[in-house]
Structure 1
């Protein structure tokens, strides 16, 4: 049971995460799928906060109220959540990587700061020549992801990946979340479904979970939600995914895209996440839940969204005060980039629908306009996210066909990954597969 102070802190962080989703996606194509890790972003800001001083520290604290928490250490909460997720046996693999790079030639980061960043966030703090930033960050990111996933993802980024980060001080968040679907079935009719997109219906690979789940319809949001735990342990699953589909099952399927935009707007403006969860009740009998199998990859520059949310000084040359990082007041955060891979039962031997959007780090940079398709510089296909060694691949559960009532998540939907012991939202996504040309 969470202490009341911790619960309020988690609620605040979740609210920030949902607003970050809003600001990040506001200039992107709402007809496209997207994946973001609000926990990856807020915990990275928490790592920067350790080195902030003066007005910059106060501004970050207004955004993330770390210093207001006097009955517990919020940095330790972040650390405990990170450790539990990346070490969870319920997942195929997970990584929550945080990196900070300062310009080589400036004063070295303080050992004290590096030690605290490592202790609370397992974070890397390093000086680098920004002319060689792409190679260095690619190597370091691959090392960290490989370590956190226990070699299950040995090469997160391929050799051709190009990463453009700006000096003098850049932050990077890399997040992997691959669900282990040994408890679901993708055999026979379970393995594909008709999905109703904006213009047409199409067949997508799918998977089916069977059991008694938390399920409900929220009248205010006009949305159907179901929570799928990532384990059937009697002690309860560490993480779960909540799928939220606009409308009622089977209603007006081809209105999915505009209804999804309305759902997102309502969920954000009404701060309705907690209310949605309260509407879920465990089904009194077993049901089948059929969901598309997919993998989504995204590269997001969060500089503009976070500036709009109140962190302008942190990104302002001459205003930011990050003396706690290197002892002198010359640093400002010039870039904060997030790379995500979210996989729902999409493996090399049972590949689901795979998309990358947005594919360029330029999306969301100060002075730029997002939303256009751009060349993918990140060489995801060389990553062993798609080439996992055979012994590490999940075994498909041989679940017999059932006569259970079936809930089909068969039109554009949102999904939220929760850390159940705390309620922290780890990932938020929208699944709206691109129509075939």
Structure 2
């Protein structure tokens, strides 16, 4: 039996010893003066705003797109806890972190605790790790914040004498945290004897659909890609009672919940050829407002005849240049101030890498239509097709906080 399987790689941040002095205090003060005017949000809102900002830079990719805004946001959050001055201001502006430390820490603690809560009928877990050069002591305050509020585990490494062995050790840990899916997160050559710290986050998700597809109903059908090429894909079919929702006139949206109704996939389907219109309205504020204003867990009176392609793909990216362009170049330069990590500074970010993988398919043979019938209970039926036979955007959302765990765009399910 096939299972739905979604895995996010951890992202990693590598810190190298800087060879020159930090930015002058006067320049830092000038930038810091504007911090109070920067909008900040609690983590679940900040995740979604960052998600849409990052997606804006990836949406023109010719192939499929996939990343976990939660993982990137959390891993960079651990770096932000040690940033000062201009470095902190730029990171905050890109990631929309909550400036109030108490609120930020409590919110990260709550969000991670929700994801790692026991007793679920599905698998959803996240892991944070601090891999630190054994000759560089961390500030107690910095270490305590990461272990207490980010639930991070800390381990000393011998980057100085054994950088390659350290890299392989970290990659093995991340592979284990993602059920063997994400391999070689930290690429060859990215860790050297001057590496001082590697921060990683990994998230793993595996769940059955609440309304499962029958493999016997799957057949080969056409999918019309954004480039105009028609490909033949495995199409799954399911009749289920759901409401088809509207997203600001730019897309029809179908929520496909997983077991327990605690996590859902939202499929944003524009009219054929109108992906650019949808993407222009996929802003952080628009998505946040739409998610918070919609009525959750409604089954609806429409019998949806769903046609959904099976798809499986991975996505690897170095985020270094992207984050610089989004407004945080200082963290990647010798002018970086990450003195909140070790008390003396001399650190800079050398790279931020990210890997993700997703596989969507049929699961089991349970009768899902009963759920829809119970809610509506009408004696008449409206039937409406929802045929996903052209490019679409999807988001997997933790429903109690509206946190986007995964986001992607499928241009071609055969890639």
Which of 52, 55, 68 in structure 1 is aligned with 2:99?
Answer: 68
Corresponding position of 1:137:
170
1:19 paired to 2:36: no
Corresponding position of 1:389:
none
Which of 410, 418, 432 in structure 1 is aligned with 2:389?
Answer: 410
The structure number with the bigger radius of gyration is 2
SS in 2 for 1:286: strand
In the alignment, is the contact (CA less than 8 A) between 2:42 and 2:104 conserved in 1?
no
In the alignment, is the contact (CA less than 8 A) between 1:178 and 1:344 conserved in 2?
no
1:397 paired to 2:414: no
Alignment of 1:177-326 (within 5 A): 177-181=205-209, 183-190=211-218, 193-197=221-225, 198-218=227-247, 220-221=249-250, 223-231=251-259, 233=260, 237-247=261-271, 253=272, 255=273, 259-268=274-283, 271-274=285-288, 276-277=290-291, 278=293, 282=298, 283-317=300-334, 319-326=335-342
In the alignment, is the contact (CA less than 8 A) between 1:214 and 1:280 conserved in 2?
no
Which of 45, 53, 59 in structure 1 is aligned with 2:76?
Answer: 45
In the alignment, is the contact (CA less than 8 A) between 2:106 and 2:149 conserved in 1?
yes
Corresponding position of 1:165:
190
In the alignment, is the contact (CA less than 8 A) between 1:92 and 1:180 conserved in 2?
yes
Q: Distance in 2 between matches of 1:31 and 1:331?
A: 36
Change (3 A) 1:227 1:435: closer
1:83 paired to 2:117: no
Corresponding position of 2:401:
422
Corresponding position of 2:33:
none
Q: Shift of residue 77 of structure 1? A: 2.0
Change (3 A) 1:118 1:227: same
Q: Shift of residue 50 of structure 1? A: 1.9
Task: For CA contacts below 8 A with separation 6 or more, give which structure has more relative contact order.
Answer: 2
Q: Distance in 2 between matches of 1:8 and 1:98?
A: 19
**What is the RMSD of the two structures over their aligned residues, measured on CA atoms?**
3.6
Change (3 A) 1:76 1:165: farther
Q: Shift of residue 36 of structure 1? A: 0.8
Q: Distance in 1 between matches of 2:188 and 2:48?
A: 29
In the alignment, is the contact (CA less than 8 A) between 1:170 and 1:336 conserved in 2?
no
SS in 1 for 2:348: coil
Change (3 A) 1:164 1:228: farther
Which of 55, 58, 71 in structure 1 is aligned with 2:86?
Answer: 55
Unaligned runs of 5+ in 1: 146-152, 248-252, 351-393
Q: Which moved more, 1:132-141 or 1:394-403?
A: 394-403
Corresponding position of 1:433:
412
Q: Shift of residue 208 of structure 1? A: 4.2
SS in 1 for 2:62: coil
The superposition leaves residues 343-390 of structure 1 with CA deviations (integer Å, 9 ceiling, x where unpaired) of 323xxxx6xxxxxxxxxxxxxxxxxxxxxxxxxxxxxxxxxxxxxxxx
1:330 paired to 2:346: yes
Q: Which moved more, 1:209-218 or 1:278-287?
A: 278-287
TM-score, scaled to structure 1: 0.69
SS in 2 for 1:225: strand
| Structure with higher strand content | 2
